[in-house]
Amino acid sequence: MNSGKKLNILFLAPFCDGKDVGESFNSHRWASKLMDRVNLTVLSLHRKGQIPLAEQLPNARTHTWNEPAFFAQFERFNAIAKPGYVKYYYAVKQWLREALKNGETFDVIHQMTPAAMRYPSPGIGFDIPLIHGPVQGSLETPEGFKSECNESTAWYMKLRNIDRFRLKHDPWLRNSIQKADLMLVGSRYARELLELAQPKAVAELVHLNIDDVVEHPERKNPEPGNLKLLHVGRTVRTKGLLDSIRALAQLDKDLNVSLDVVGDGDNMSACVAEVKRLQLESKVIFHGKQPRAQVESFYANCDALLFPSFREPAGGVVLEAMRHGLPVITTNLGGPGYYVNEDCGFTVDAITPAQLSDDIAKAVTKLATEPGLYRKMQDGAYERVKDLGNMDKKLNWLLDQYLRLSKAP
């Protein structure tokens, strides 16, 4: 960004905590980088027990409102439906009216979160350039998997099922999207969905950030026919662990392929039962939920990531694995389908469970047996993650957008 003065940026992130995970953590990372390059004002919600945002972002101006305490007891509902956003939306509107009334000025408003595209921005209507995103989400379960995914879950888990309708017909949401000067999307599939609301301008920006890659000079290529696979993530049906287990049972008996599973969730009992049914106890090892340092150790000591999630908006574990030079086997859907190309892994269809496990088995076999392929994809993983995840590159691009919009007539 080439400018004689620092821009005044209003950063809207209802969830922003460097000690949290997911979009809250990523919002904090963006804010922590931006605060040294612009005059940053961050408006956020404060969760009970959270380190005050002013302490986490000492070079930014911050203002927070307490997140409604009542909903905190319903952790899953709170994470999915985000009921506290209603309070945040109207609080931001009121705060901004007062700030402008008192003579404050902002060059650009950037609404970073929530990541789901179903939430309108309170930054609309103030005659200030607005960037919203990157947004994503709204993926539906493939028809062939619905019978295995317990679709009769809590109502708030079905919000994604009406997102397409809202993007086409909800005047509140459509007005927010159409009046934003720039909508950012986290992947190509999100762009296609967002087009239903007819946005003014759209650009792609992967919100997950990788500062550097981790080289492993001591790591040797697996011997032909050998492969140590890794699955990381919540053990829910949509992550594809059950399909991965079934795929291992289809491999040629001459192959020496194992699977380390890191994570826990409500589909774990079904996965353990499937391992027993298929007599794969010596091939599949469950490690449960592990701390971050231990997860990094698994990345360093396995050969490839097997993560065939079929309803994954982002898929940070894919970039984390590629950061360690791991080839990835995933589906061609959502974030992972966008991150992984033929140079760094395999993307397979997810039409039915039988088809998915069959295609996974074929990909595993090819990676384990084709000479030179593993090294090619290892190198490709490093290059792809540098391209997608480099924070400095993305930060400079974003700053250029701030400057461009601030000068627009």
Cβ atoms 386, 213 nearer than 8 A: yes
- ∠ CA 186-189-192, nearest 5°, is 110
Tokens for 155, please give them.
């109502």
The number of residues making up the chain comes to 409
Per-residue pLDDT, 152? 44
- What is the four-CA torsion angle of 389, 309, 79, 118, rounded to 10 degrees? 80
What is the full DSSP assignment across 103-148? T---SEEEE----BTTS--TTTTSSS-EEEEEEB--PPPPGGGGGG
34-70: pLDDT as tens digits: 999 999 999 999 988 889 999 999 999 999 999 886 6
- Between CA 34 and CA 32 the distance in angstroms is 6
- Between CA 218 and CA 108 the distance in angstroms is 47
Tokens for 221, please give them.
């290529």
- Between CA 145 and CA 99 the distance in angstroms is 50
pTM of the model as a whole: 0.81
- Three-state DSSP class for residue 183: strand
Phi and psi for 339 in degrees, rounded to 5?
A: -70, -40
Cβ atoms 202, 186 nearer than 8 A: no
- Between CA 174 and CA 168 the distance in angstroms is 7
Tokens for 169, please give them.
């017909």
What amino acid is encoded at 278 in this protein? L
Indicate the helix (H) or strand (E) that contains 101: helix 84-101
Phi and psi for 210 in degrees, rounded to 5?
A: -120, 120
- Between CA 156 and CA 153 the distance in angstroms is 8
- Three-state DSSP class for residue 39: strand
Tokens for 135, please give them.
């947004």
Could you give all domains of the chain from N- to C-terminal order, each with its CATH number?
8-209+390-406 (3.40.50.2000), 226-388 (3.40.50.2000)
- Between CA 19 and CA 28 the distance in angstroms is 9
**Would strands 182-185 and 61-66 be described as parallel, antiparallel, or unpaired?**
unpaired
- Three-state DSSP class for residue 97: helix
Residue 250 CB neighbour total at 10 angstroms: 14
Cβ atoms 16, 24 nearer than 8 A: yes
Phi and psi for 203 in degrees, rounded to 5?
A: -140, 155
Chunk the chain into consecutive blocks of 10 residues (it has 409) and report each block's average pLDDT, rounded to whole numbers: 79 91 84 96 92 96 87 59 84 98 98 90 96 86 84 56 82 95 91 92 86 81 94 92 98 97 93 98 95 90 97 86 96 93 98 98 97 95 90 92 89
Per-residue pLDDT, 34? 97
Residue 158 CB neighbour total at 10 angstroms: 13
What is the full DSSP assignment across 203-269? EE-----B------TTPPPPPTTEEEEEEES---GGG-HHHHHHHHHTS-TT-EEEEEEE---TTHH
Phi and psi for 94 in degrees, rounded to 5?
A: -65, -45
